[in-house]
Structures are given as structure tokens and as C-alpha cells.
Amino acid sequence: MFTATENAKGEKLDLFHSVHGWLMALYERDCRRRFSPDDHWLRKDLKPSLLFQELEKGKRRAQLLLQYIPHVIPHKNRVLLFRNIVTKEKETLGLVETSSASPHVTHITIRRSRMLEDGYDQLRRLPVNSIKGVIRVKFVNDLGVDEAGIDQDGVFKEFLEEIIKKVFNPALNLFKTTSGNERLYPSPTSYIHENHLQLFEFVGKMLGKAMYEGIVVDVPFASFFLSQVLGHHHSMFYSSIDELPSLDSEFYKNLTSIKRYDGDVSDLGLTLSYDEDVMGQLVCHELIPGGKTMPVTNENKISYIHLMAHFRMHTQIKDQTAAFIRGFRSIINPEWLHMFSTPEVQRLVSGDNAEIDLDDLKKHTVYYGGFHSSHRVIIWLWDILSNDFTADERAMFLKDTGDTLGSVLRGFFTIRKKEPGGRLPTSSTCFNLLKLPNYSKKSILRDKLRYAISMNTGFELS
């Protein structure tokens, strides 16, 4: 039997979970559509360094903050915590270089013309810890001749970015885009690929690997799909209707108008089913067994709305979503993401659209080859980035294009023909290195930089 004290504790715990659930529901809604003032949820006195220390000591306060009220901690601090957690795991698994041991390295050879096929064949059967570890890529052409390049993370980063770009391309029909804002989610007709579920698991692993290594990729996900990846749909406060606009706002508008219909809904001729055009054929999906013979009435219209929303966002793609989640979670522990809302996880995947912090970039720049912070070319460079370039140009400057050696040579000879006076700045993909010629004038540096970032030329493997 329970004592009065135990009953009281249980009631307090139930109350806590209820209040916490409603608080998180409000926070998630605020993240989707802002209604509170900026910084409303934050506690600015919480420093990430102290949280690191408290987490490492297993202190309950830090664990509770991350588990129950993570939004009180600024997003950038939670990102630092996430990176710290990943680093700790790498150290535990022996995946980082130490004075006494070197991590195991997996080498793969990739043909550019068959990048997805080669990557899939060579990586999908690797043990999870090998995927989490160091992977070195050697690119070859169709004749088997090696490309120039030594992979010091840069070539693998290029490979990962390119393979993710291919698998998320809607033309492949593994993923499709939402109407309106063109966000990605699994295609209901991905079964045209014989091994589509294995591909989804592989894609999940590759996205997990990108997040594990802190590599941002241009993959804008539909909010409802990310919610499923995060497991939010298992919450008692989750509503398919709330998520439906992120799939199709027009469909949501039409569907919810049934709730407000003044007359007899049965006059609309709807049944508990969904008719879909699949590659030119009309396919009827029953929302419940026998649904195509059951009319929608005033009595069951609310049930119909929820069934339809659930079918479109869950039932239709449940196998694809499950396979993707299985692959993703084999790399990223879902508990690590509990401290982020859905939009914040999207920022972990694709990076922030905030302005680049040039002061921070300056602070972490290392100079070689005679350059130093007081060199005239370096002073010009920072002044151009700060005062002459737009925010978009600064973002393009940082973007590592990773062109092949062949395309660089084509670009270089074209440039020489038009601009015989000098070379473009180049970036070495292999070592994530910017190579800057010693220009004689600031105006020349500005023009060359603009040309290089806008034309995607002047980048080389070396």
C-alpha cells in the first residue's frame, strides 16, 4: 500500500509533468509562430562553461535544465553543449588522436560519376563506430585515375555535401518538397526504388554523420517531419492538425473549413478516405477499414479532419520515416537533441542565417606564407569583407565550393584570357585553406574576390 506521503509525491510529480508538458507545448508553438517578446524564455546568468562542469559531475540541476527546461539556456550555449557531448563520446570511443594512440581510419574510393552508388555500397555496411570515426575519401575519374588531393577532412566534407545534395534532390524521388515553402520530407512514392528503405536508412546515417562532425548542409526539412525525427509525435500534447500547415497550408485551410461548415457536411459527398493521383492512376486510401463507404457527417467531421492529417503526415510515409530515423539515431543519440526545439534542430542541420561574426572569424584565422594580421593584403581583406561586401557575399566567401581540379583549370584559363594581369584567390578543399595572392592594389583584391565567389571558379584541390 502507498502511504499518504508517497501519494502526495506522486501527485506532485504528475502535476510537474503536466505543467512541463503545457510549457513545452507553448514553447514549441512560440518557435513555430512567435507570440512572445525576444529572449522571453532565457536565463542569461547560465554560462556554458559552468554547465559543462556540472554535467560532467553529474549534477542534477544541469541535467534537469537540459531535460526539462532547455529553452532557458541561449541557443548558442546549447550548441556548445551539444558539440561538447559529441567530443566526449569521440574520446570515449577512441575516435580522436591522442599522444598514445591514433584512431582507426576508413578509406573509400569514389567515382564522381557514381558518387551516390559508390558511397552507398562502401559505407552502408560499416559498423556504426566506423561511420562515427575518421573516413578518408579518394576521388577517381571513370578511368580509375586518382584526382589530386590529400584528404584532411576537406575532401570527405565535399563528398558528404555532394552525396546529401544528390539524395535530397526531389528529382530522385526519395524526398519531395512541400507546396509553398518547398521544405523536404519523404516521398510517399519512393517505393519506385527497389531498395528505398535501405536508402532512407543510409541517408539518415549520412545526415547524422554531418551533424556529428559539425558539417552544415543545405537541407531545409518540413517542420512536421523534423518533429517526427525528434519524437515529438509521441507526446500527449502533439497535434497533427497543428503540424499540417508545414506540409500543405492550402490543404490545411480546406480541411479545417469543414469544421466551420454551417450546413450538413454529408452534402459535400466526402467519405472517410483519401483519393490520390499516383503516377496518373487514382488510388483510394481508406482512413479506417471500410472508410470509402462511410460518409463524413456533422457527427464524425472532427474525427475525419484528424484522420486525414495523420494519414498525410504519418501513415503515408511511416516506413520511410522509420528507416530514416533508424539511420539517424544510430549516429545521433536522440537524448542529445532534447535541448532543442524543431526550428533549432533545423539550424543545427543547415546553420544559422544570422550575420557572420567577422571579429570571431578574425580571432580564429591562422596565417601562413608570409602573411600576418598586419600585412597590407590581410588588412584589405578584412576591410573589404566588412565594408564592401554584402551579407550574402560574406556568406558566399565562407562557402567552400570544392570544385574538381578539371573545373578549376577550365575556370583558370578562362580568367587568364579575360584578366591577364593576375590570378584569382583559391581555396584548398583538402585542408580548408584560403590561398591569397599578394595583390598590389586593394581594388584588384576586391574584384578578384567578387569574381571567384560569384562564378564558383578559382577553387582547387591541392
What residues does CATH 3.90.1750.10 cover in the chain?
Answer: 105-230+319-350
Q: Report the alpha-carbon distance of residue 15 to residue 19 in Å, rounded.
A: 6
| CATH classification (class only), 105-230+319-350 | alpha beta
What residues does CATH 3.30.2410.10 cover in the chain?
Answer: 358-455
Q: Report the alpha-carbon distance of residue 204 to residue 212 in Å, rounded.
A: 12
If you search the block for the grid coordinates 584589405, which residue do you land on? Answer: 380
Predicted pLDDT at 53 = 62
Which residue type sits at 256? T
Q: Report the alpha-carbon distance of residue 79 to residue 81 in Å, rounded.
A: 5
What residues does CATH 3.30.2160.10 cover in the chain?
Answer: 243-316
Between the alpha carbon of residue 124 and those of residues 162, 207, 254, 256, 330, the distances in Å are 17, 13, 42, 43, 12
Mean of the per-residue pLDDT values of the chain: 80
If you search the block for the grid coordinates 555532394, which residue do you land on? Answer: 162
Predicted pLDDT at 461 = 41
Which class for 167: exposed (0-12), middle (13-18), buried (19 or more C-beta within 10 A)?
Answer: buried
**Spans of the chain, pLDDT less than 70:** 1-14, 16-24, 27-33, 38-72, 147-153, 234-237, 353-354, 399-424, 426-433, 455-462
Cα 70 from chain centroid (whole Å)? 20
Residue 304: Cβ within 10 Å count:
24
364 Cβ contact list (under 8 Å, min separation 6): none
Predicted pLDDT at 419 = 39
Superfamily of 358-455 according to CATH: Hect, E3 ligase catalytic domain (3.30.2410.10)
The pairing of beta strand 281-286 with beta strand 175-177: unpaired
Predicted pLDDT at 58 = 57
CATH architecture for segment(s) 243-316: 2-Layer Sandwich (3.30)
Question: Which residues are annotated as catalytic?
Answer: 430
Q: Report the alpha-carbon distance of residue 149 to residue 302 in Å, rounded.
A: 60
